[in-house]
Amino acid sequence: MNKKNGTFQRQKGFTLVEFRIVVIIFGILTAVGVPLYLGYVRDAKVAIGVILNAEKLYYQRNEQFTSATSAQFEGLPEGNPLRVDVRDTTHYWTITATGSDNNTFTVTTTGKAGADFDYSKIVVSLIYKRNGDEVWKKAENGVEF
């Protein structure tokens, strides 16, 4: 409040100190949130890479790609046809591998809603073709980025 002509008048807007405090709080939230988000996406990509290598090996042995459900990846490695252990990733991601034909397979990770953050709208996927073509896709709320 300012005192002008003997009466108090109400100030409008933020003071510079208040504005700086708000900017600092946003900076702290961004500094903490963005690395966590990127770390979870990186974990999904690592799991996809593990499954990619296992699918390639599976193809060499069986002359076809295979499919695996999220439930199979959440259990012991012996419970999925690729024999890979990605249980650490399944805490935040639902993972499916789909061998669509003898030339292509797709691995899709869909985020789960959790106590810390809601990643249920994030999807990271890889479409792999035997000729070596790889198409990575990342989407949030249906919008690719």
Domain holding 57, by residue range, is 14-144
H or E segment to which residue 34 belongs: helix 16-62
Of 102, 94, 44, 101, which is closest to residue 69 (Cα–Cα)? 94
Q: Which is more confident, 20 or 37?
A: 20
Is a pLDDT exceeding 80 seen at residue 116?
A: no
> Please, which residues bridge with residue 97 across strands?
68, 107
Average pLDDT of the chain to the nearest whole number: 84
pLDDT for position 109: 92
- Residue 8 counted as domain residue: no
Q: How many residues does the chain have?
A: 145
The tally of domains found in the chain comes to 1
In a domain, 95, yes or no: yes
More confident residue, 115 or 100: 100
pLDDT digits (tens, 9 = 90+) for 69-103: 999 999 899 988 999 999 888 888 899 999 877 78
Q: With bands split at pLDDT 50, 70 and 90, how would you rate the model's confidence at 42? A: confident
**Measuring CA to CA, how many Å separate 104 from each of 8, 48, 110?**
75, 15, 20
Residue 9's pLDDT is 65
Q: Does any domain span residue 9?
A: no
Identify residue 62 by its one-letter amino acid code.
N
Tell me how far apart the alpha carbons of residues 79 and 128 are, in angstroms, rounded to a whole number.
23
pLDDT band at 113 (very low <50, low <70, confident <90, very high): confident
Q: In 10 A of CB 93, how many CB atoms?
A: 25
Q: Residue 37's pLDDT band (boundaries 50, 70, 90)?
A: low
